[in-house]
Amino acid sequence: MERRRCGPLKPVPDAQPRRRAAAEAPIVYTVAEVADRLKISPGTVRNMIDQGQLYALRLHVRRIVIPRWALDELVARPATVTELHRPASNA
């Protein structure tokens, strides 16, 4: 039996590649990705999740994801500045 070959591929007019654009943000982030974006440690991100400061979903025992809207909401929230506790000087 002889194999038939297809002719050369013709470009499809107005064809768009189906890849996600690099500038498009993902729907969810991992703990490591959030930590990298906020320039904090992954442990701090987990503490924020435990304290209710950051919404997250636990998909598996070891898989936690943070929705994009939750990170956007955290970044948009006004910062609260607290006074540092400084011990009285013994001068």
Q: Is 61 among the domain residues? A: yes
Cα–Cα distance between 50 and 7 in angstroms, integer? 60
Identify the sign of the CA torsion 63, 67, 68, 74: negative
> What does residue 50 show for φ and ψ, rounded to 5 degrees?
-60, -35
The domain that holds 36 is classified in CATH as 1.10.10
Cα–Cα distance between 32 and 64 in angstroms, integer? 10
pLDDT higher than threshold 80 for residue 35: yes
Q: Is 50 among the domain residues? A: yes
> How many domains, in total, are found in the chain?
1
Q: For 49-75, write each residue's pLDDT tens digit.
A: 999 999 999 998 889 999 999 999 999
Q: For 4-16, write each residue's pLDDT tens digit.
A: 665 666 666 665 6
The amino acid occupying position 66 is I
Cα–Cα distance between 12 and 2 in angstroms, integer? 29
Is the pTM value of this prediction over 0.85?
no
Q: Is 32 among the domain residues? A: yes
Q: What per-residue confidence (pLDDT) applies to 82?
A: 77
Q: Is 70 among the domain residues? A: yes
